[in-house]
Amino acid sequence: MPAAGARDVGVGAGAGVVSGLFGVGGGLVLVPYLVLVRGWGQKQAQATSLVMVAMAATAGLVQYAVAGDVVWTAAGAVLVGGLIGAVAGSALVARLRSWVLQVAFAAILLAAALRMVTTPVSDAGAVPPEIDPTIVVAYVMSGVAMGLLSALFGIGGGILLVPLLVTAFGYDIRLAAGTSLAVMGPIALTGALRQSRQGTTDWRSGAMLGLGGIVGGLVGAALAQRLPLTVLTWLFAALLIFTAVRLARAGLKSRRASSDQRHS
């Protein structure tokens, strides 16, 4: 295997561990690697990372499903909303000032992190709410928000869905991660296929990254089953804070660049 291919598999494995451990996409690791190390354009990096995300999410999902940590009804409702949100987000990209959304989303993630670490966690786990029409609508709307933000910022929707399931629906972090992975695989694959029409998805590189992602997804999911829920919750809160800081910095940088262009 060429050196670049071996490196891709290794990086994909690392991103897969993050995906399987927390129920998020892994693009937080992969997209910066493709842009900064491989020298790819942002759009190609985001589109190709979706191939790895789909493969890693599916691998991690197997572990969570075997352990019974997936709420399938919720996943189906969120998936419907996620697909709607992804389409709407793609249409909105060119119309909105992204820096405002980035800073606002960063604030939401920080608030979610604070809520998660200040809510008592029992290692006995949590029981999700009973399914009724109101809850189904809430799941669908959560999916819409997930799909919108994923399309607008090129980040995995799990970074929003997992804290939503924990703080708004009473899931424990492990159950939220498994349910998130059930949604993320189909949405990521749909996104990769849609962007492939524009020539931005590199399927060969995505598959190489995905091979590592499968291994990493299995490892991350297995680790999630062994860590105490309190530890897993704090680790995820740290990931939220890291993501929030990155988004806020990118938004403020974009605002400064836009201001400089107006005054030049």
pLDDT per residue, tens digit, the chain (264 aa), is: 566 678 889 999 999 999 999 998 887 788 888 888 888 887 788 888 889 989 999 999 999 999 999 999 999 999 999 888 877 776 665 566 667 777 877 888 898 888 888 877 666 566 778 888 999 999 999 999 888 877 666 666 788 899 889 888 989 999 999 999 999 888 888 888 877 887 888 999 999 999 999 999 999 999 999 999 999 999 999 998 998 888 888 778 877 776 666 666
Q: How many helices (H) and strands (E) does the chain have?
A: 10, 0
DSSP state string for 162-213: HHHHHHHH---HHHHHHHHHHHHHHHHHHHHHHHHTTT---HHHHHHHHHHH
pLDDT at residue 72, as a whole number: 95
pLDDT at residue 167, as a whole number: 87
Q: Please, are residues 96 and 152 in contact by the beta-carbon 8 Å criterion?
A: yes
What 3-state class would DSSP assign to 43?
Answer: helix
pLDDT at residue 137, as a whole number: 95
Provide the whole-model pTM: 0.85
Domain residue spans in the chain? 3-259
DSSP state string for 155-168: S-THHHHHHHHHHH
pLDDT at residue 63, as a whole number: 93
pLDDT at residue 68, as a whole number: 92
Within 10 A of 241 (CB to CB), how many other CB atoms are there?
Answer: 17
CA-wise closest residue to 114 among 160, 167, 161, 165: 167
User: From CA 247, how far away is CA 3, in angstroms rounded?
Assistant: 32
pLDDT at residue 47, as a whole number: 84
